């Protein structure tokens, strides 16, 4: 079970790092990749990206380094809330194509949160 959780953590963290990096440090590229970015204040997009980056680190480092390992499921739960908020945002905008990615990352983050608690 531990190996499976590490695999899920790695996949989820990689996805959050990619998404967070684009939002936090490559705003122009994020604007081209995702239409919704143009309709949201730049500061909010950067904040979401930073939160995703910190969450990705929080899903890996505390458990891997065995320093306050309880932060790993907390980070995963926080990322679940962020992605759930994104899914609701996309539903309100009728961007149903985007929701599939949200569902995948909600499930991955929930698996980590439940598995590591």
Report pLDDT digits (tens) over 56-76.
999 999 999 999 999 999 999
Task: Give the span between the Cα atoms of 113 and 117, in whole angstroms.
Answer: 6
CB contact at 8 A, 52 and 82: yes
For residue 1, pLDDT beyond 90: no
pLDDT of residue 97: 87
């Amino acid at each position: 079970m531990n190996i499976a959780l590490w695999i899920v953590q790695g996949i989820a963290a990689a996805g959050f790092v990619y998404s967070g990096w684009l939002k936090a440090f490559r705003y122009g590229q994020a604007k081209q990749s995702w239409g919704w970015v143009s309709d949201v204040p730049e500061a909010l997009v950067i904040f979401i990206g930073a939160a995703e980056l910190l969450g990705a680190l929080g899903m890996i480092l505390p458990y891997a380094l065995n320093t306050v390992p309880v932060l790993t499921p907390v980070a995963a739960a926080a990322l679940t809330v962020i992605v759930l908020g994104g899914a609701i945002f996309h539903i309100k905008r009728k961007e149903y194509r985007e929701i599939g990615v949200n569902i995948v990352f909600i499930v991955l983050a929930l698996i980590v949160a439940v598995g590591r608690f």
